[in-house]
Amino acid sequence: MPADKISLDNAKKDKLFYFVANVVVYRASDKKCLLLKRSETEKVHPGKWCTPGGKLEWKDLDIEHPTRLNGEVLDFENAVEDLLTREVREEAGIEIEPQIKYINSVAFVRPDGIPVVLVKFAARYKSGEVRPEAEAFSGYAWVDVAEVKGYDCIDGIAQEVEETIKIFS
């Protein structure tokens, strides 16, 4: 019988992580990538430059509407793509193309002790004017490989910008 609700009752406590996905947005017209400046009030990397992204939440797995019943397993296809599309729209006010490319991943422990698995992707800019989400971000910039080095980015962002430009050039 498939699950009728999401629950941690049977989960192993030592197997729990936040799942986070970020995306480097590439604009083909000038071969630049989008950076957002995190608010100084953020728990993780305050004031640093980053790329859009967010946590996969339980509400993203609507138990009443899986995309597929795989035996007794409820599948939610394109959960990461949907997450990134939504987060880019919410955080930057723009749209991305639906095809995303894998860049890399990292696992880390936040200052508040929460373990995180972060998977990073690249996507093409589709449309819209950048409007950083109020209170979460204080600025934005479109950068190339040389320009990104002049920003106080979260470690790894410069390399991800370089990889994204290689992927789409």
Where are the domains positioned within the chain?
Answer: 15-168
Backbone angles phi, psi at 69, to 5 degrees: -100, 115
In the chain, count H helices and then E strands.
3, 9
Instruction: Pick 64 or 48 by higher pLDDT.
Output: 48
CATH hierarchy code of domain 15-168 = 3.90.79.10
Say if residues 90 and 130 touch (Cβ distance below 8 Å): no
Residue 1 has pLDDT above 80, yes or no: no
Residue 153 has pLDDT above 80, yes or no: yes
User: What pLDDT sits at residue 135?
Assistant: 92
Give per-residue pLDDT as tens, 59-118. 999 989 999 999 999 999 999 999 999 999 999 999 999 999 999 999 999 888 999 999
User: What pLDDT sits at residue 132?
Assistant: 98
DSSP 8: S
